[in-house]
């Protein structure tokens, strides 16, 4: 029953559902589970049943968000460094192309 509370559904969860995922899918799933604050079972069940996943704030979720933000910051710094290198490479390439036209 979809209208049954979560506690009621847990009581009757006696079926196992298993499936395989790739390494990338597994990492993404684990990241989403940690950021939700739910158990993996509850997260997957809610997503499969098209139910809302509301983040349950707790220290684990805070730490996961902090780690995600640090990873994003590092990626942005890496891209910024590549961007300045690419600008120089593009300028050299364009200068070389101008020389070919003359």
Residue 35: name the closest of 76, 9, 77, 69 by CA.
Answer: 69
Q: What is the pLDDT of residue 86?
A: 67
Could you read off the pLDDT of 23-73 as tens digits, one per residue?
A: 999 999 999 998 888 889 989 999 988 888 788 788 888 888 888 888 888
Distance between CA atoms of 97 and 93, rounded to whole angstroms?
A: 6
What is the arithmetic mean of pLDDT over 7-12? 60
Q: What is the pLDDT of residue 17?
A: 85
pTM: 0.54
């Amino acid at each position: 029953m979809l209208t049954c509370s979560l506690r009621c559904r847990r009581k009757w969860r006696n079926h196992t559902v298993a499936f395989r995922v790739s390494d990338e899918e597994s990492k993404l799933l684990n990241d989403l589970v940690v950021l939700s604050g739910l158990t993996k079972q509850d997260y997957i069940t809610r997503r499969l049943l098209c139910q809302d996943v509301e983040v349950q704030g707790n220290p684990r979720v805070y730490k996961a968000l902090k780690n995600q933000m640090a990873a994003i910051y590092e990626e942005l710094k890496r891209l910024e460094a590549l961007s300045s290198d690419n600008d120089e490479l593009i300028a050299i390439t364009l200068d070389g192309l101008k020389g070919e036209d003359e």
